[in-house]
Structure 1
Amino acid sequence: MNYSAELKKIVTSQYVYSSIRITLATVIPCLVLSYFGLLKEYFLFPLGTSFVALTDQPGPFIRRRNSLTFAIFCFVVVASIASLVKGIIPLVLLEVIVFGMFFSLIGVYGQRLAAVGSLALVVLAIFIDGHLTGANILKSLLIFAAGCIWFLLIFLIVTTIQPYKLASQMIGENYLQLAEFLKIKANYYQKNPDFDKLSLQIIAKQIGIKNLQEETRETVFKTRTIVNESTTISRLLMLMFLNSMDLHEKLMTSESDYKKLQESFKDTTILVKIHDYLNILSEEIANIGISLQSSARAKPISDLEVHFHELNVHYYELRNKEMTPENLENFMILRQIMMRINEITKEINEIYKVFSQNVKLAKSLSTGLDLKKFMPKEEKINFKVLKSNISLTSSHFRHAIRITIALLIGYLVSLLPFLVIGHTYWILITIVAILKPAYSITKQRNLLRFYGTVAGAVIAYGLLHFIHINAVLFGILLISMILCFSLLKGKYFWAVLFMTIYVFMSFNFLNPGNVNVIFKDRIVDTFIAGIIAFLVSYIVLPVWEHTQNLDLMKKSAESNLTYFHSVMSKFLNENFDVENYKVKRKNAIISLANLSDNFQRMISDPKNQQKKLEVVHQFVATSHLITAYTASLSQYAKSNQQYPEIDSESWSKKIESEMNQVSAILNGDKISETLRMDSRLEPEESSIEDMLHKRKTELLENEHFDIRDPNKISHLTELKNIHDVLELIYDVAKEQRKVIEKYRNEEKTTLPQS
């Protein structure tokens, strides 16, 4: 492992950059207030700053600014009402119901407002018992509001100074994810690979890539300084992101029958050589990502031409020595893999060229795409959307009910005299943090929250027991805050651990010598909140993942069909619209990732709710293969070559008939006889067989051509690979149809028919 590169990935990431900004925005006022001896009196100022900071989600400047403004308004309103009704139990319960339902429901408008809603409920928890506001409520609220506004001002200043920073970091992270994706793919070529494990890793990584691409699309395509300005930086960022999506497709095209490949070349070292070279390419892609994150020029870390030449020499020597009429087709598959690797190498070199920031080149570059077609869909903010979700059929409404009930139970439990709860709000905050719309996520967060809290509390207790130098403790506080905010999205256990440490440190500065009470309260309150969150998520209107399977399978099947058809349009001599093709590609990848993500969550559901788990797993696996094989086919569609020897019309009807049957079965429709007949079509490709026979005869007669041009591939090899890919798509589509027939037969009594 390259530890230097790994460290650079972390240090230059948007998460560390954002966490440092949040930490400094929170801590600097604390230092100033502490210097004048006012920290205890004005503690709500940094608290308001940190709350607003945590609602800042990646995205276009206008949306971030608007959501921060909305968050400030919500937080001040919630804090005011909570402070005014404190101690009046009926009114407190009413406010929990109203705020719990409203701030959970606004999640229908997307992740940005969902974050605002969650933090608004945290504000409610903080102010619910009134012990932070003291006697002078107005003064406390003004201090809190000032702290909230302080972060908005910092946000406006930072984004004005660095308008491209977030977009650059997010695009860089896309490349880092692609580098990890290629590393996984490379492992298919190592000795004795674990195919099942690698398939699961590929699916999981595809989910992460899809989610990141969606976030980056919104940030890049809706940032006016990038879309509208004709500056070198704006054009380069746009092209670097579009190139990352093209590179993603090229990485998907290397899909092959790896088991057959391993069997065919198990006595050679060519596959290990490919594995090593793909890892070199992965390091180059990661290098591009790190350079983007750090806003530096990317320079190749190795000479790809030399490494690729060595790989080619090894391949050609093996071919010249070992190729026979019997293994000719295996070598054709290997030649195609070498060609794909060559294309990936060229793509990386082209990205380096674009990244060289040549001003003349940048000004001449244009995407030529209607970017609106690539934007992720999102709900418009209007009352109709909210109203339509006030129904038990809405997962958002069911979640709102769950979280409201959990908060009510948590508040009532905190009032029980025999428990002697010292910090009521810790129970409520923990409930908000743990309880998520999906049971699987709630279950996972529950455990991570408890383990992280216990570990963090033990470490913090030890630090406070043995260290009494305030400067050292303050340094630990700063580091803990930065690490907490950096890891909050991806490493929840570690985020909670460091959060607990900085909470302990904060309370120690405000009220020294109270560590024993904090230690007990923190663990007890987390334990109580965890039990409440688990029981409510399991009992109160749970939404199990298996209920989403049918709709997600329909979307995936439909998206794969339209993606395949858009690729086949070139072979059928129809108009091949690059923009339309890219939209279809995007939709197929998103649908596949959504289905895969739902399946991954379903694995964490209770056993009795993992309905038809194996069948769904088979559908996910076949969907992934269809998408990957279609991506492989698309490389031929985008070339200027013609392939009249391929019976494209028959192949198109044959494959699309299987895909249409899958959609029909999923929708509960009757399969027409025409579809069944089309599936049995036999494409007429005798010319390919003749050419293949001729080539085998040449080999028998020792007519071997030692042509070593890595940029050229024989027409026969191309034809054979197109035929093989079409055959693979058909076989997988047929297998998927059988899988879904089994699924529907078993689900007839439980799933609604369309």
Structure 2
Amino acid sequence: MNHSAELKKFITSQYVYSAIRITLATVLPCLVLARFGLLKEYFLFPLGTSFVALTDQPGPFIRRRNALAFAVISFVFVAMIASFVMNIKVLVFAEIIVFGIFFSLIGVYGQRLAAVGSLSLVVLAIFIDGHLTGANIFKSLLIFASGCIWFLLIFLVVTTIQPYKLASQMIGENYLQLAEFLKIKANYYQKNPDFDKLTTQVIAKQIEIKNLQEETRETVFKTRTIVNESTTTSRLLMLMFLNSMDIHEKLMTSESDYQKLQQSFEDTTILVKIHDYLNLLSDEITNIGISLQIGIRAKTITNLGEELKNLNNDYFELRNKRISPENFENFMVLRQILMRINEITKEINEIYKVFSQNVKLAKSLSTGLDLKKFMPNEEKLNIKVLKNNISLSSSHFRHALRITIALLIGYLFSLFQFLGIGHTYWILITIVAILKPAYSITKKRNMLRLYGTIAGAVVAYAILHYIQVNELLFAILLISMIMCFSFLKGKYFWAVLFMTIYVFLSFNFLSPGNVNIIFRDRIVDTIVAAVITSLVAYVVLPVWEHTQNLDLMKKSAECNLIYFQSVISKFLEEGFDIQDYKVKRKNAIISLANLSDNFQRMISEPKNQQKKLEVVHQFVATSHLITAYTASLSQYVKDDEKYPEIDADGWSRKIEAEMQKVCNLLNGNTITETLNMESRIEPEDSSLDDLIMKRKKQLTENETYDLRDPDKISHLTELKNIHDILELIYDVAKEQRKVIEKYMIEESVEFKPSTP
């Protein structure tokens, strides 16, 4: 592992940048207040700042600004109501019910408002018993509101000064994820690879890439300064993001029959050399990503031209020594892989070229795409959407009920003083932080929260016991805050650990000498909240992932069929629309990632809820292969090359019939005889067979050619690869149909009424 590159990736990421901004926005007022001895009296100011800051989700400027403004209004309103009714227990329970349901339910409008809703409930927890309000409620509310507005002002200033910073960092992260994806793909070429493990890693990485691409699309395509301006920076960022998606597709087109490849060349070093070269490409993509995150021009770190030349020479030397009528088709496959590697290398070199564009060339950097078609779908802020989700059939409403019930139980527990619970708010905050719509996520966060809290408490206790220098404690507090906010999205255990440390240190500055009480209360409150969330998540209207499987499988099968139809249309000469193709490619990748993500969550659920786990796993695997093989086929549709030797019509009808069978089975429709007949069509690629026989005859007569042009590939090699890909798509589609038949049989047996 390149530790230097890993450190740069972390330090230059949007998460660290955002964490530093939140920390400074929170701590600087504390320093000023502490200087005048007012920190304890005005502690609600930095508290309001940190709460609003945590709602700031990546996205276009206008949406972020509006969400922050809504957060300020929501927080102040919740704090005011909670402060006024805190001594009337009946009204306290009523506000928990109203706020719990409303602020959980607004998650139907997306992650941004879901974050505002969650933090609004945290504000409720903070103000519910008045321990921070003091005697003068209006003064406290004014201080809190001022802290909330303070971060909104900081946001407006920073985004005005650096309008492109977030987009640049997010696009850079896309490249970093692609570099990791390429490293996984490279491992298919190492000695004795674990194919099952690598396939699992590829699918998991696809989920990460899909989620990141969706977030980046929203940020880039809906930021007016990027879409509308013709500055070098705006056009550069747009091109860099679109290029990242093209690289993603090229990496997907590198799908091959790796087991057969290993068997064919296991006694040579060519595959290991491919592995090493792909890792060099991965390092270059990493370099591009880091440069984008920092905001500097990227420069190559390796002479790719020389390394690629050596790799191609190794292939040609092996080919000239070993090629024969028996194995020349294996060399065709290997030649095709090298061509893909050449194309990825060219793409990377082109990105470096784009990176060096000057101001005069800025206006020439145009996409030519209707960007609206690539935007992620999201619910509009329509009251009807909220009303339609007030139903037990809505997973959002079920989650709202779960979190409300959990908050009521948590508050009820805090009223029993004999339990030794010292801080009502921490139980409620922990419940809000842990309890998520998906049971698997709740379960995982529950354990991470508990372990992180215990570990953080022990570390903080040791720090306060052995260190008495306030300046050093303050430095540790700053570092802990930055690390907490940096890890909050990706590494929850570490986020909780550092959060616990800075909370302990904060309380120590406000009220020195109470570390033993804080230690005990923090642990007890976390354990109580963990028990409550575990029980509620399992008992109260849970939404198990297996209930989503069928709909997600339908969507994936349908999108794969449409994606294949879009690609094969070029071979059928039906008019190929590159923009339409890219939209369908995006939809296929997103639906596959959603299905894979759902399956991964199902694995973490109780065993009795892992319905037809093996069958669903097989469907996910076959869906991944169909998408990948279709992407491989698509590499032949972007030029004017014709392939009349391929019976495109026969293959189209055969494969589409098999894929349509899958869709019919999933939708409960019958399979017609027409589909059965078309799926049995034998495509007439006779001219291809003749060309192969001719080539075998040439090899038998020792007619070999030492062609050294790495940028050219024989027409026969392309034809053979197209034929093999079409065969693979059909075989996988057929296998998927059998998987679904098994799924439907198990489904009917499960719901078949028992005989009296």
Instruction: State the TM bucket, normalised to the shorter chain.
Output: over 0.9
Residues 231 and 359 in structure 2, CA contact (< 8 A), matched pair in contact too: no
Report SS of the residue matched to 1:637: coil
The residue number in structure 1 matching 2:280 is 280
Task: Say whether 1:170 aligns with 2:170.
Answer: yes
The residue number in structure 2 matching 1:112 is 112
Q: Which ranges in structure 1 are unaligned for 5 or more consecutive residues?
A: none
The residue number in structure 1 matching 2:407 is 407
Q: CA deviation at 1:166?
A: 0.2
> 2: CA distance between counterparts of 1:277 and 1:362?
33
> 1: CA distance between counterparts of 2:593 and 2:475?
41
> 1: CA distance between counterparts of 2:565 and 2:358?
38
- Aligned AA (2:457): A
Task: Say whether 1:334 aligns with 2:334.
Answer: yes
> 1: CA distance between counterparts of 2:710 and 2:639?
16
> 2: CA distance between counterparts of 1:359 and 1:571?
40
> 2: CA distance between counterparts of 1:593 and 1:175?
18
The residue number in structure 1 matching 2:656 is 656
Task: Say whether 1:718 aligns with 2:718.
Answer: yes
> 2: CA distance between counterparts of 1:123 and 1:357?
48
Equivalenced residues, count: 752
Moved more, 635-644 or 459-468: 635-644
Stretches of 4+ aligned residues off by more than 6 angstroms: none
> 2: CA distance between counterparts of 1:357 and 1:506?
48
> 1: CA distance between counterparts of 2:685 and 2:259?
27
The residue number in structure 2 matching 1:140 is 140
- Aligned AA (1:607): K
> 2: CA distance between counterparts of 1:705 and 1:322?
12
> 1: CA distance between counterparts of 2:361 and 2:572?
36
- 1:453-499 CA deviation, whole Å, 9 max, x = no partner? 00000000000000000000000000000000000000000000000
- Aligned AA (2:67): S
RMSD, aligned CA: 0.8
- 1:71-116 CA deviation, whole Å, 9 max, x = no partner? 0000000000000000211000000000000000000000000000
Mapping for residues 415-426 of structure 1, pairs under 5 Å: 415-426=415-426
- 1:265-322 CA deviation, whole Å, 9 max, x = no partner? 0000000000000000000000000000000000000010000001011100000001
Q: CA deviation at 1:597?
A: 0.1
Q: CA deviation at 1:417?
A: 2.3
The residue number in structure 2 matching 1:194 is 194
- Aligned AA (1:526): T
Q: CA deviation at 1:362?
A: 2.7
The residue number in structure 2 matching 1:126 is 126
> 1: CA distance between counterparts of 2:751 and 2:342?
47
The residue number in structure 1 matching 2:296 is 296
Q: CA deviation at 1:382?
A: 1.0
- Aligned AA (2:259): K
Mapping for residues 186-585 of structure 1, pairs under 5 Å: 186-585=186-585
Report SS of the residue matched to 2:114: helix
> 1: CA distance between counterparts of 2:519 and 2:749?
52
- Aligned AA (1:203): I
> 2: CA distance between counterparts of 1:159 and 1:357?
24
> 1: CA distance between counterparts of 2:360 and 2:608?
62
Residues 58 and 64 in structure 2, CA contact (< 8 A), matched pair in contact too: yes
Residues 354 and 362 in structure 1, CA contact (< 8 A), matched pair in contact too: no
- 1:129-154 CA deviation, whole Å, 9 max, x = no partner? 00100100000000000000000000
> 2: CA distance between counterparts of 1:255 and 1:73?
51
> 1: CA distance between counterparts of 2:599 and 2:360?
48
Q: CA deviation at 1:359?
A: 2.5
> 1: CA distance between counterparts of 2:690 and 2:674?
31
Residues 230 and 362 in structure 2, CA contact (< 8 A), matched pair in contact too: no
- 1:320-346 CA deviation, whole Å, 9 max, x = no partner? 001110001110000000000000000
- Aligned AA (1:261): L
Q: CA deviation at 1:5?
A: 1.1
Report SS of the residue matched to 1:66: helix
Q: CA deviation at 1:360?
A: 3.1
Report SS of the residue matched to 1:748: helix
Residues 23 and 481 in structure 1, CA contact (< 8 A), matched pair in contact too: yes
TM score, norm. by length of structure 2: 0.99
Q: CA deviation at 1:358?
A: 2.5
Q: Which ranges in structure 2 are unaligned for 5 or more consecutive residues?
A: none
The residue number in structure 1 matching 2:88 is 88
Residues 557 and 623 in structure 2, CA contact (< 8 A), matched pair in contact too: yes
- Aligned AA (1:661): K
> 1: CA distance between counterparts of 2:194 and 2:90?
60
The residue number in structure 2 matching 1:673 is 673
- Aligned AA (2:385): V
- 1:562-621 CA deviation, whole Å, 9 max, x = no partner? 000000110000110000000000000000000000000000010000000000000000
- Aligned AA (1:47): L
> 2: CA distance between counterparts of 1:502 and 1:179?
34
Moved more, 352-361 or 179-188: 352-361
> 1: CA distance between counterparts of 2:86 and 2:164?
45
- Of all paired residues, the percent bearing the same amino acid is 80
> 2: CA distance between counterparts of 1:682 and 1:263?
28
- Aligned AA (2:690): D
Q: CA deviation at 1:751?
A: 7.3
The residue number in structure 2 matching 1:700 is 700
TM score, norm. by length of structure 1: 0.99
Q: CA deviation at 1:749?
A: 5.2
Q: CA deviation at 1:361?
A: 3.1
